[in-house]
Amino acid sequence: MKAAVYYETGDPSVFKYEEVPDPECGPWDIVIEVKAISIEGGDVLNRAGGPMHSAPHIVGYDAAGVICQVGEKVTNRQVGQRVTTLNQFGSHAEKRALNSLTSWIIPNNVSFEEAACVPVTFGTAHDCLFEFGHLQAGETVLVQAGAGGVGLAAVQLAKHAGARVLTTASSDHRLERLKEYGMDKGINYVEKDLVAEVKRLTNDLGVDLVVDGVGGEVLRQSIEAARHRGRIITFGQAGRSFRKIDISGLSMGDKTLTGVFLGAEIATERVQKMIDKILNDIASGSLRVPLDHTFPLAQAAEAHAYIESRQAVGRVLLIP
């Protein structure tokens, strides 16, 4: 099969489009013919400096396709089914093998492109908002980096839950695009003081919940932007800034800070059902998957560079 691989981490130019052996199907695994690959923020970060499980290495969390092989102990999947899948790596290829527990049947009227974008982005956003963020109707939530994958999912899910949604982005153009997905007020963090804007938009109270996938200095601002007894959820650390920050504002405001990692509970019945429901909500039209751009798999380097240019509003996909 063909795959976008690299032999060392670095900028997008490390990608090579090569012939590699087909993946092996273990007894609990399925193998899919990949039809669409959603490039996740974690894929970009891993390519830049994450772990490599082999050389050459195939990066990538999410891919959708058709099952072409089923392991001898698998009872929940069949050859020919359309599925979307999540695994630690291996999406940037024409085929991938993974445990059947991290696959979900795609409803008939959901495309491969839409389905590929669901597990990481919508699953993480749902956990941040509800399972760990305890968001309630009538509350105000701040979604940091709202134009990203998890951000766009969180904006929609929070609005559907009856929340007031504030979000940040790097330009007015990106913020304008977020209005159609449920954003109530946007903050251009390049031009505005984030905390001051949040206070202005909340009558100096702060927000009930912050969903922060950036970390570092932004996480410090998120803590400050939360109201008394506010909740701050951190995940992903897209900013890759791991310096120490002052968290004294937590105790002074009776605030809570919770870390979320979808992978820790991905095989649980709760998460299995949650992602199934999200796929059905997309099928019904109550949720949307905004698609920004598609690239051929052979152009993985260009696709990753496009994501890093921060032009996208919505998902960027690779098509084998």
Write a three-state SS string for the chain.
CEEEEECCCCCHHHCEEEECCCCCCCCCEEEEEEEEEECCHHHHHHHHHCCCCCCCECCCCEEEEEEEEECCCCCCCCCCCEEEEECCCCCCECEEEEEHHHEEECCCCCCHHHHHCHHHHHHHHHHHHHHCCCCCCCCEEEECCCCCHHHHHHHHHHHHCCCEEEEEECCHHHHHHHHHHCCCEEEECCCCCHHHHHHHHCCCCCEEEEEECCCCHHHHHHHHHEEEEEEEEECCCCCCCCCCCCCHHHHHCCCEEEECCHHHHCCCHHHHHHHHHHHHHHHHCCCCCCEEEEEEHHHHHHHHHHHHCCCCCCEEEEEC
Question: What is the model's pTM?
Answer: 0.94
Taking the chain (320 residues) in consecutive chunks of 10 residues, what is each chunk's mean pLDDT? Answer: 98 98 97 98 94 95 98 97 97 98 97 98 98 98 94 97 96 93 96 96 98 93 97 83 77 96 94 97 96 97 95 93
- Same domain as 131, residue 50: no
At residue 239, the pLDDT reads 56
- The CATH number of residue 110's host domain is 3.90.180.10
**Residue 201 within any structural domain of the chain:** yes
Q: For the chain, what is the domain count?
A: 2
Minimal CA–CA distance to 155: which of 102, 220, 213? 213
Do both 79 and 127 map to the same domain?
no
User: In degrees rounded to 5, what are phi and psi of residue 167?
Assistant: -150, 160
Range of the domain at 250: 121-263
- 271 within domain boundaries: no
Whether residue 147 sits in one domain with residue 111: no
Q: What was the pLDDT predicted at 245?
A: 79
- Assess whether 100 and 44 both reside in one domain: yes
Residue whose tokens read 């959603």: 38
- Same-domain pairing of 139 and 54: no
Out of 219, 247, 263, a domain closes at 263
Residue 272 belongs to some domain of the structure = no
Within this chain, do residues 104 and 168 fall inside the same structural domain, yes or no? no
Per-residue model confidence (pLDDT) at position 142 = 98
The whole-number pLDDT of residue 114 equals 98
Q: Is residue 268 part of a domain?
A: no
Residues 104 and 126 in one domain: no
Cβ–Cβ < 8 Å for 27, 70: no
Give a yes or no: residue 282 inside a domain.
no
- β-pair partners for 77: none
Same domain, 50 and 16: yes
Q: What is the pLDDT of residue 264?
A: 94
Locate 306 and state its tokens. Answer: 């496009």
Residues 147 and 109 in one domain: no
The rounded radius of gyration (Å) of the Cα atoms in the chain is 19
Q: Is residue 274 part of a domain?
A: no
**Which of 263, 279, 297 marks a domain boundary?**
263
Residue 284 lies in a domain: no
Instruction: Identify whether residues 100 and 199 lie together within a single domain.
Output: no
What is residue 248's predicted lDDT score, i.e. its pLDDT?
A: 83
Please check whether residues 161 and 221 belong to one and the same domain: yes
Overall residue count recorded for the chain in this entry: 320
138 in the same domain as 254 = yes
CATH code, domain with 149: 3.40.50.720
